Structure 1
Amino acid sequence: MSSSDQPEPSNSATEQPLLAPSASYSDQYPAPISYTHSPRPIRDLPFLLLFLLLTLSTFAIGFLSLARRNPDKTLVSHFTYNPSLSSCVLSQSLPSSSLSFLSSSPLLEFLIPTLLITLLLSFPITFSLLFLLRHFAKHLIYASIPFFILTPCFLNAYWFAACVVSAGCHKAFPLTYRIVVLVFVFLLIGVILWIIVSNWHRVQLTIQIVQASAAALAENIALLLVLPLLLLLYALIYFTPVVVFLVFATWNGKVVPRGHKGFYKCEWKEDRWVQWYFALAVIMLLWSAATMIEAQVYAISGTVAQWYFTPEVSRPKRSLRSSLRNALGPSFGTVSFSGMVMGAVRLVRIVLDAAKQERELRGCITLILKCCADFLLSAFDFVNKFTINFAAITGEGYCSSAKMTYELLKRNLLSAVFVETVSTRLLAGIVFVISSLYAVLVYVILRATSSLNTEPYLIAALTWVLLMAVLCYFVHVLDNVIDAVYICYAIDRDRGDVSKDHIHQVYVQLPKNRNQGSSLV
């Protein structure tokens, strides 16, 4: 059997051994690729040590900044220059400190309960969305597609009409600018419509992919419960302390006189090491955030892979726990290496996008440099696309995972860049529609039950942002499940095996390279 042949699905596939070798496997590797159970060897140890060293340095210097903080930072305005001492001295008369309490406002009275209710409702909404995608994906997607256009059209027309009626908005926002914004938004809606029409032939395949991945996520529902807790722990244990250290690092310094034309005033001067600590702390914040994202992808891929390669008659035990133990244990060097690469790529992309707005960046040389940078960043994306997914399955290091993933997909004529990006766009559209309808419902309820004026707009917008964030996280998890299942399917093809027959029936329809269209067209 050649590497390009497609395996014939059969019910007897589940009766084969989980790690059965295949005679068609490439001679380059001594054994077929399969899920590697614990214990796993430590990988990418230098990056693990570098991450730990920089983290310890960040926290150690942060605690030192707390101990050496100068309270004069908050009293700079009360310092005056003393000519006889040639220095700044604290004024004798200081304003008495008094506690000021915020008076209860109607906005806070309705905002806090509304946000809490939205946060509580976001959980049943998320699980209901997962249920619908698993059992009624076709009905949900086809019913939501018209709202991709109708919802932004309604909101665009509504704000324009509401601004005409409102006297304050009418005066603050001239008619010409309102028309420009109205037309611009409608042009964006036209672009969305064009994207939908141009990709319509791929919707049916996308529905099957989303439904199969939703079923895989439902079989591993603990991912939606544990990963947010992991993110919360990261925010409490790492992110919040570093932000506090950054705030108090600015308290390290002293009040010094600054003179200009014989006139002196007192200003705060930070110690020289503060700016270097800021650089270190910001770099670690970016690296740790990217590493946490990659750790989540690792945990998702490891959990889904254990479910995928387990026969239908049984269920994997403690799959999420073992995946998290591997991600934060022997493979943490690989995870931090991947986080460093992805964080650097995203940072460079942000810098390049910002540089495109600068007028100075013109000319042939600048254009060539930008093209080279875009090429290199695309190459990094190309290599890193499924690297962490493969590492989660096999326990290999970052570089070997990148190489083996590329060769795995090349041997089986599969695209190294997942072609069905329509699934992400459709899911994002569904999330936008659900969040918008919920925000409109909140606005209507507040209008009917309260005497607020313009505050319902703000409250509805904040509830939209909150629900959108929760549902986008759900889409992020589902997207990673799609990628993990794709790699598992590629491993199955490489071994000539069929671990999950219903997955093969869907993923076998994917284009075998970027130039081919879908077999459903």
Structure 2
Amino acid sequence: MGVTDDHSSSQPLLSNPDDDATNSVAATEDENNFPQITFNSSPRHFQDLSFLILFIIFSLFTFAFGIFSVVHRNPNSSNLSSFIYDSNTTSCVKQSNLTNNNQSLNWISFQSSSSLHLVKNLVWTLVITFFLSGPLVLGLLYSLKHFTKQIVYVSIPFFVLVPIFFNVYWFVACTVTSDCSDAFPLAYRILLLVFVFLVIGIIVWIIVANWHRVELTVRIVGVSSHALSRNLGLFGVLPALTLALVAYFVPIVVFLLFSRLNGKIVPHLSKDKYTCTWKQDSWVPAYYALAIITMLWSAAVMVEAQVFVISGTIAQWYFSNEDKKPRKSIRSSLRNAFGPSFGTVCFSGLLICVVRVVRAAVDGARQEDISGVVNLILRCCVNALLSAIDFLNKFTINFAAITGEAYCSSAKMTYELLKRNLLSAVFVETVSTRILAGIIFVLSAIYAIAACAILKAVSNLGQDVYFVAVLAGLLLLLVLGFFAHVLDNVIDTVYICYAVDRDKGEVCKQEVHEVYVYLPISRNQRPSLATRTPLSV
């Protein structure tokens, strides 16, 4: 009895040595076991419903009040000049004998043959450019897939040569043209010439400073181009989503136009004399604010939805077997983006919209040259907050498209995923984005030069040929910029998929691991093609 008591007293109260050992092992396993992350192909649950409901409420109110503005518009809003003040009734009345000859519309007619010739050449040039942009995008994708190194290394010198050409050409053309030389003195032309050369020098310095990343960039762009080439259906779906957004905007714009017609004609005392003026209803400015906010939010939602569709489609390709191509991957991504995860897309779009609006307000305040230490500190704090939100949102929507998680949990799990695998959440390879931007700029500039030469040979537009060529180059730049945006999102998605592979110790795409394994784990580390060994099957 006494031995039993001594033994019991030597142990902690309500404790067992075997239980302590078991609990210790379980605690260690819990710390090392993280939630399994992979592509969620099963039916998903609705996430972030509150933001989905809020977005629907904004849209419904915008359309409801818009229809109300159309129905209750004042038909006399365009006949203000036919109303006069009646002292007997102290109100504005319509004159019965006033003719409406002054209300006829003055349409702009292109009577000049030169103007008609300019419009005709401009329309045909833009139409031809638009139809050529499709084959050019596919050709660029094919070239980046098979000849990435050659395309990149050939394009890099043009990043400098093209700006030099335009700078020298403009200076010489303005010097030999009397109108330009008279309007722009020689001293100012030389000053602008030197300034542009300084900017070109900065570009050269950036290229030299990042030269050690070019080889890695070549491989990243090549792998991502291969992934995009296996999902060419995105080039049909994404423009269709953009057209759907335009169709969604059309009635809102019409409602905004009709909302201006809601009001009444009232007398106004000015200089001891009553005149009739137009007074809008008090709710019209509020509706303008509501409609503009809805349009901004909708545009941001559509951008995030496109990123979601890209990420979901590429992830299905990444985690599929090499011998079996995923079926209906784009359709399932669309169903998830505008179904269970639409609340997450709305939440992400709202954050992006707020960041853009606040940043525009901060930039506007900076241009107003508001001095003071307090204003400077506030601007720094706001910029830091906006940068933090951008950092948080960078891979969140990609991760949500893969897993179907809510926005906040996706942000948390993405950060933990990259942190566990010693991958940088700040840095994928920004040089690839800049090189893609440089390539599309060079191609657009070369196309504009070629269009200018052809128009000079087949038409007599004179100086207007430069205007037409610039518009054609800008149109091609817009289309190629869309392609670069898609490829940039593919790079981010493949990066997250690679991180998921590393987290599970698996290799779904060996060619991706052979490239992404060389990414630096921080901005300060120089990427080396011989520092780490990729996982093997």
Contact 2:427 2:523 in 1 (8 A): no
Whether 2:110 is the aligned partner of 1:103: answer yes
* 2:9 match: none
Whether 2:143 is the aligned partner of 1:132: answer yes
* 1:76 match: 80
Give the superposition deviation at 1:418.
Answer: 2.6
* Structure with max Cα Rg: 2
* 2:64 match: 60
Change in CA separation of 1:303 and 1:27 when aligned onto 2, cut-off 3 Å: farther
* 1:204 match: 215
Whether 2:419 is the aligned partner of 1:415: answer no
Give the superposition deviation at 1:255.
Answer: 2.3
* 2:522 match: 513
Whether 2:359 is the aligned partner of 1:349: answer yes
**Farther off after superposition, 225-234 or 252-261:** 252-261
Residue identity (%):
56
- Equivalent residue of 1:73, what SS? coil
Letter in 2 for 1:32: Q
Give the superposition deviation at 1:99.
Answer: 7.8
1:194 aligned residue (201, 205, 210) = 205
* 1:20 match: none
Tell me the alpha carbon deviations over residues 386-419 of structure 1, each in whole angstroms, 9 at most, x when there is no partner.
0000000000000000000000000001011134
Contact 1:255 1:268 in 2 (8 A): yes
Letter in 1 for 2:38: S
* 1:19 match: none
Measure the CA separation in 2 of the matches of 1:198 and 1:66: 59
* 2:274 match: 264
Whether 2:481 is the aligned partner of 1:488: answer no
* 2:153 match: 142
Give the superposition deviation at 1:359.
Answer: 2.1
Give the superposition deviation at 1:183.
Answer: 2.4
Measure the CA separation in 1 of the matches of 2:299 and 2:458: 41
Q: How does 1:68-467 map to 2 (within 5 A)?
A: 68-91=72-95, 92-95=98-101, 97=104, 100=107, 102-103=109-110, 105-236=116-247, 238-360=248-370, 362-467=371-476
Measure the CA separation in 2 of the matches of 1:205 and 1:281: 46
- Equivalent residue of 2:492, what SS? helix
Contact 2:428 2:495 in 1 (8 A): no
* 1:6 match: none
Measure the CA separation in 2 of the matches of 1:267 and 1:464: 47
Give the superposition deviation at 1:82.
Answer: 3.8
Letter in 1 for 2:356: R
Measure the CA separation in 1 of the matches of 2:288 and 2:415: 38
**Where does the alignment leave 5 or more consecutive residues of structure 2 unmatched?**
1-27, 531-537
**Farther off after superposition, 456-465 or 491-500:** 456-465
**Farther off after superposition, 418-427 or 201-210:** 418-427
Give the superposition deviation at 1:26.
Answer: 7.1
Give the superposition deviation at 1:178.
Answer: 2.5
Whether 2:483 is the aligned partner of 1:474: answer yes
Contact 2:62 2:252 in 1 (8 A): yes
**Farther off after superposition, 165-174 or 215-224:** 165-174
- Equivalent residue of 1:374, what SS? helix
**Where does the alignment leave 5 or more consecutive residues of structure 1 unmatched?**
1-23
Letter in 1 for 2:477: M
Change in CA separation of 1:346 and 1:101 when aligned onto 2, cut-off 3 Å: closer
Structure with the larger RCO, 1 or 2 (CA within 8 Å, 6+ apart)? 1
Measure the CA separation in 2 of the matches of 1:160 and 1:314: 58
Change in CA separation of 1:25 and 1:63 when aligned onto 2, cut-off 3 Å: farther
* 1:46 match: 50
Letter in 2 for 1:515: N
Q: In angstroms, what is the RMSD of aligned CA positions?
A: 1.8
Measure the CA separation in 2 of the matches of 1:257 and 1:351: 38
Letter in 1 for 2:205: W
- Equivalent residue of 1:342, what SS? helix
- Equivalent residue of 1:71, what SS? coil
**Number of residue pairs the alignment of both structures matches:** 496
Letter in 2 for 1:175: L
Measure the CA separation in 1 of the matches of 2:160 and 2:39: 43
- Equivalent residue of 1:460, what SS? helix
Tell me the alpha carbon deviations over residues 110-133 of structure 1, each in whole angstroms, 9 at most, x when there is no partner.
111111000000000000000010
Measure the CA separation in 2 of the matches of 1:337 and 1:29: 30
Measure the CA separation in 2 of the matches of 1:231 and 1:300: 14
Give the superposition deviation at 1:167.
Answer: 2.5
Measure the CA separation in 2 of the matches of 1:399 and 1:31: 16
Change in CA separation of 1:37 and 1:463 when aligned onto 2, cut-off 3 Å: same
Measure the CA separation in 2 of the matches of 1:166 and 1:363: 47
**Farther off after superposition, 321-330 or 151-160:** 151-160
Give the superposition deviation at 1:144.
Answer: 0.7
**Farther off after superposition, 79-88 or 473-482:** 79-88
Tell me the alpha carbon deviations over residues 404-437 of structure 1, each in whole angstroms, 9 at most, x when there is no partner.
0000000001011134111111111110111111
Give the superposition deviation at 1:74.
Answer: 2.4
- Equivalent residue of 1:511, what SS? coil
Measure the CA separation in 2 of the matches of 1:175 and 1:328: 58
Give the superposition deviation at 1:472.
Answer: 0.2
Measure the CA separation in 2 of the matches of 1:225 and 1:437: 26
Measure the CA separation in 1 of the matches of 2:156 and 2:132: 24
Give the superposition deviation at 1:181.
Answer: 2.5
**Farther off after superposition, 267-276 or 484-493:** 267-276
- Equivalent residue of 2:79, what SS? helix
TM-score by length of 2: 0.89
Give the superposition deviation at 1:346.
Answer: 1.4
TM-score by length of 1: 0.92
Contact 2:428 2:492 in 1 (8 A): no
Measure the CA separation in 1 of the matches of 2:34 and 2:154: 50
Measure the CA separation in 2 of the matches of 1:44 and 1:428: 34
Measure the CA separation in 1 of the matches of 2:378 and 2:105: 58
Tell me the alpha carbon deviations over residues 172-221 of structure 1, each in whole angstroms, 9 at most, x when there is no partner.
33333333322222222222111111111101100100000000000111
Contact 1:413 1:513 in 2 (8 A): no
* 1:503 match: 512
Change in CA separation of 1:28 and 1:235 when aligned onto 2, cut-off 3 Å: farther
- Equivalent residue of 1:498, what SS? coil
Letter in 1 for 2:256: L
Change in CA separation of 1:163 and 1:266 when aligned onto 2, cut-off 3 Å: farther
Measure the CA separation in 1 of the matches of 2:439 and 2:514: 25
Give the superposition deviation at 1:257.
Answer: 2.9
